[in-house]
Amino acid sequence: MTEGPTPSAADSSDESSDEFKFRVVLLGEAAVGKTSLIRRFTENSFDEDYKQTIGTTFASKDVSVTDDEGQTRQVRLIVWDMGGQTTYRELRRQFMKGSSGAIIAYDVTRPETFMAMNNWFESFRETCPNAAVVIAANKVDLLDSRIVPVEPGLMLRDWFQADYYETSAKTGAAVTDVFDKLGKLVLRQARAEKKSSEM
């Protein structure tokens, strides 16, 4: 994972067009697996040890997206990980600002992380009203300690009008699906906005 202060630091070294490059953020309570989901997605690896993310970091990776016209596009996701300092409202807002999409994650073994989902969703919506949202119900590999079943997750999905995936950063289950879907949604949204600005 690379570290850097601004999205432009991530952008400077490559030539892919801005049309297909998007800032997305990972949101959710501490230790739900945000950093692990990003690492699984970008490096296809997993670490059992919990190291609290210090400061804000990002990683970027391309996903292949089939758009609504059936064309395949490479979409670059610049995925931001906020780390621990999530309690300051203004910091949260700064972090979310300008994002095209968010993955909001909870840990199915800890109901309090599920209960916090609405708070994350509301503050993201406030900052980025039109951005895409995908829900990740993470750590589904922990069958014996799972407490939050699928139904409340589906309720959230309907309530947020978001997509819902049951993920495991450990086994990799559905992790690619989450990011592929987010890539598809941010591209669709960007095109819808472009179209409406041309009218």
Distance from C-alpha of 139 to C-alpha of 45, rounded to nearest angstrom: 15
Eight-class DSSP state of 129: T
Token representation of residue 56: 């804000």
Minimum distance from residue 32 beta carbon to ligand GDP (Å): 4
Minimum distance from residue 117 beta carbon to ligand GDP (Å): 13
Residues 38-57 that bind Mg ion (CB under 5 A): 53
Distance from C-alpha of 153 to C-alpha of 157, rounded to nearest angstrom: 6
Task: Determine contact, residues 20/74, Cβ cutoff 8 Å.
Answer: yes
Please identify, among the stretches 28-36, 120-128, 142-150, 185-193, the one whose residues bind Mg ion according to the rule CB under 5 A. 28-36
Minimum distance from residue 173 beta carbon to Mg ion (Å): 19
In this complex, which beta carbon is closest to ligand GDP, that of residue 21 or of residue 181?
181
Distance from C-alpha of 107 to C-alpha of 37, rounded to nearest angstrom: 12
In this complex, which beta carbon is closest to Mg ion, that of residue 169 or of residue 187?
169
Residues 60-89 that bind Mg ion (CB under 5 A): none
| Site size with Mg ion, rule: CB under 5 A | 3
Which helix (DSSP H) or strand (DSSP E) does residue 34 occupy?
A: helix 34-43
Minimum distance from residue 27 beta carbon to ligand GDP (Å): 9
Q: What residue type is 155 in one-letter code?
A: M
* Site of interaction with ligand GDP (CB under 6 A): 30-36, 47-50, 53, 138-139, 141-142, 168-170
In this complex, which beta carbon is closest to ligand GDP, that of residue 96 or of residue 187?
96
In this complex, which beta carbon is closest to ligand GDP, that of residue 140 or of residue 190?
140
Token representation of residue 150: 């699928």
Distance from C-alpha of 183 to C-alpha of 167, rounded to nearest angstrom: 17
Question: What is the number of the residue whose Cβ is closest to ligand GDP?
Answer: 33
By CB under 5 A, is residue 35 in contact with Mg ion? yes
Distance from C-alpha of 27 to C-alpha of 154, rounded to nearest angstrom: 18
Distance from C-alpha of 73 to C-alpha of 184, rounded to nearest angstrom: 9
In this complex, which beta carbon is closest to Mg ion, that of residue 35 or of residue 167?
35
Residues interacting with Mg ion, by CB under 5 A?
Answer: 34-35, 53
